[in-house]
């Protein structure tokens, strides 16, 4: 996998955003495969309202966000109402996230499965002011779910294809989780992702109790809920139970 953009393709574009879109999407078309089946993804026709890429074999669809530098925990997205409608729809894309440097080379590329892209991770931005060209327009921000990120490239290092496909398969159970349960489950999975070591304890997850309480203020039994989610993740082979109060990431 080559990590450099084909900069010659950007010649003739006066808009930098158009230039980057062409360079980044061309790079993805030539280098990225579907995480579900391994087939090379293809580019949709321009201005498709829902997605940028698709898999010709298993029909998974993908929207791409690109940024120079790092995304951080949040990514600027499109119009708020449209984003919410798309994430509530049965036909919604997975998301590719591409980070590149000024040298026009890719540093990070990861996919977040659509099952992790819930309305709860979308924040509403302030409306544009009266003097703006689109006065009153309300944008959105995606709060990236750490537990849903599957890296093809991380810090300039290309991941083994088999690992990418395996990481996708490990998360496929999320597609069967109902909307009411998904928020809690993703939040606990995010807490697990924050722990650097493969093995972790129940006590470590309890350390996120205040954060989870803030996310779910109506729930008065946070620790019970944490144990419930850990048991579910164990049953789905996302984590392994070692002994009382001890787990391992798989």
Contact indicator for 50, 93 with CB cutoff of 8 Å: yes
Rounded average pLDDT per 10-residue block, the chain, 250 residues? 93 88 96 98 79 94 94 91 88 93 96 94 92 90 95 97 97 92 94 96 97 94 97 96 95
Q: What is the pLDDT of residue 105?
A: 96
Q: What local confidence, expressed as pLDDT, does residue 49 receive?
A: 62
pLDDT at site 47: 64
Q: Is 172 helix (H, G, I), strand (E, B) or coil?
A: helix
The whole-number pLDDT of residue 191 equals 97
Query: What's the confidence (pLDDT) of residue 162?
Result: 98
- Domains annotated for the chain, with CATH where assigned, are 1-171 (3.40.210.30), 177-250 (1.10.10.10)
**Alpha-carbon distance values, 1 to 54, 106, 135, 158 (Å):** 19, 11, 43, 7
What is the model's pLDDT at position 227? Answer: 97
pLDDT of residue 90: 80
What per-residue confidence (pLDDT) applies to 41? 97
């Amino acid at each position: 996998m080559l990590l450099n953009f084909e900069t010659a393709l950007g010649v003739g574009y006066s808009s930098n955003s158009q230039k980057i879109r062409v360079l980044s999407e061309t790079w993805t078309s030539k280098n990225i495969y579907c995480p579900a089946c391994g087939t090379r993804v293809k580019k949709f026709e321009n201005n498709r309202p829902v997605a940028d890429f698709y898999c010709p074999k298993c029909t998974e669809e993908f929207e791409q966000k690109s940024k120079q530098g790092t995304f951080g925990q949040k990514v600027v997205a499109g119009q708020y109402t449209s984003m919410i409608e798309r994430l509530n729809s049965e036909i919604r894309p997975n998301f590719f996230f591409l980070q590149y440097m000024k040298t026009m080379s890719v540093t990070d590329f990861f996919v977040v499965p659509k099952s992790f892209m819930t309305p709860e991770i979308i924040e509403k931005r302030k409306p544009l002011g009266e003097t703006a060209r689109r006065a009153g327009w309300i944008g959105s921000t995606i709060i990236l779910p750490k537990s849903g990120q599957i890296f093809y490239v991380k810090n300039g290092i290309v991941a083994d294809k088999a690992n990418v496909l395996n990481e996708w398969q490990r998360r496929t159970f999320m597609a069967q989780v109902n909307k009411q349960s998904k928020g809690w489950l993703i939040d606990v999975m995010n807490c697990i992702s924050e722990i650097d070591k493969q093995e972790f304890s129940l006590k470590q997850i309890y350390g996120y109790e205040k954060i989870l309480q803030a996310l779910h203020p109506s729930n008065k039994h946070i620790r019970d809920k944490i144990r419930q989610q850990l048991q579910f993740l164990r049953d789905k082979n996302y984590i392994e139970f070692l002994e009382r109060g001890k787990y391992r990431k798989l």
